[in-house]
Structure 1
Amino acid sequence: MRTPPPEVRASWPTPNYIDPVTRGPSLIIVEIVGLTAALLCLGLRLYVRAFLMRNTGLDDWIMIVAMVFSVALTIAACLAYKMYGWDRHVYDLLPAQMIQGRQISLAIQAIFVLASSLAKISIVVSYLRLALVNSWFRKLCHGSIWLIILSNGSMFVVLWTQCIPISDYWNIFKLNSNCIPESPPLLTQAIMTVFTDFLVWALPLWTLYQAKLPLNQRIALIILFSFGLFVCIAGCVRTYWIHFIIDKTYDPTWQGFHLWIWTAIEVHLGVICGCVPWLKSLINYKKGSSDPTELSHGYVKSGGTATIGGTGAARGPKSGSGGGHSKSRSRHDGIDSKWLGDASSLEGDEIDMDSFTGGKRTSSTHPIAPNLTNDTSK
Structure 2
Amino acid sequence: MASGTTLNVVNWIGAGLSTGVFAIRAWTRLFIVRSIGLDDFFMLLSLLASLAAAGLITTSVHYGMGSQTEGTILASKYSFLSGIPIMMAQGFGRIAFAFTLLSVMGTTPARQWFLYTIIAFQFIWLVVVLALSYGLCSPVSAFWDSAQVQAQECLVKYHNVVVDGWNYFETVWDACTDFSLALFPALILSSTNMQMRLKLGLIALMGLGVLTGICAIVKAVEYSLLFSNTENSNYAQATIFIWTVVQQYIVIIAASIPCCRAFFTKTDRTTVGNSNEPGAYSRGRITLKPRKAKHPPTRQIRPQASRTLIGDSDDEPLNMGMIHLSDVSTGIPHFPR
TM-score (norm 2): 0.82
Contact 2:38/2:99 (<8 A) preserved? yes
Q: What residue is the counterpart of 1:351 in the other structure?
A: 316
SS of equivalent to 1:174: coil
Q: What letter is aligned with 1:86?
A: M
Structure 2 CA distance for aligned equivalents of residues 86 and 238 of structure 1:
17
Contact 1:86/1:254 (<8 A) preserved? yes
Q: What residue is the counterpart of 2:294 in the other structure?
A: none
Structure 2 CA distance for aligned equivalents of residues 188 and 326 of structure 1:
46
How far is 1:38 from its partner?
Answer: 0.4
* Cα offsets for 1:77-119 (capped at 9, x unmatched): 11111x2211312xx23xxx53222211221111111000000
How far is 1:57 from its partner?
Answer: 0.9
Q: What residue is the counterpart of 2:54 in the other structure?
A: 74
Q: What residue is the counterpart of 1:181 in the other structure?
A: 158
Of residues 264, 267, 275, the one that matches 1:283 is 264
Q: Which runs of 5+ in 2 are unaligned?
A: 292-296
CA RMSD, Structure 1 to Structure 2 (Å): 3.0
Q: What letter is aligned with 2:5?
A: P
Cα 1:176/1:44, change in 2 over 3 Å: closer
Structure 2 CA distance for aligned equivalents of residues 309 and 233 of structure 1:
31
Q: What letter is aligned with 1:360?
A: D
Q: Which runs of 5+ in 1 are unaligned?
A: 1-21, 335-347, 369-378
| Largest Rg, 1 or 2 | 1
Cα 1:202/1:356, change in 2 over 3 Å: farther
Give % identity: 16
Structure 2 CA distance for aligned equivalents of residues 279 and 259 of structure 1:
31
How far is 1:282 from its partner?
Answer: 0.8
Q: What residue is the counterpart of 2:335 in the other structure?
A: 366
Cα 1:61/1:325, change in 2 over 3 Å: closer
Structure with greater helix percent: 2
Cα 1:324/1:226, change in 2 over 3 Å: closer
How far is 1:212 from its partner?
Answer: 1.9
Contact 1:187/1:242 (<8 A) preserved? no
Q: What residue is the counterpart of 2:120 in the other structure?
A: 146
Structure having greater relative contact order (Cα 8 Å, sep ≥ 6): 2
Q: What residue is the counterpart of 1:26 in the other structure?
A: 6
Question: What is the aligned length?
Answer: 316
* Cα offsets for 1:293-321 (capped at 9, x unmatched): 14xxxx67898457873234599xx8745
Contact 1:201/1:228 (<8 A) preserved? yes
How far is 1:70 from its partner?
Answer: 0.6
Q: What residue is the counterpart of 1:117 in the other structure?
A: 91
Q: What residue is the counterpart of 2:246 in the other structure?
A: 265
TM-score (norm 1): 0.74
Please tell me whether residue 57 in structure 1 is matched to residue 37 in structure 2. yes
Cα 1:322/1:26, change in 2 over 3 Å: closer
Structure 2 CA distance for aligned equivalents of residues 322 and 222 of structure 1:
27
Structure 2 CA distance for aligned equivalents of residues 216 and 272 of structure 1:
22
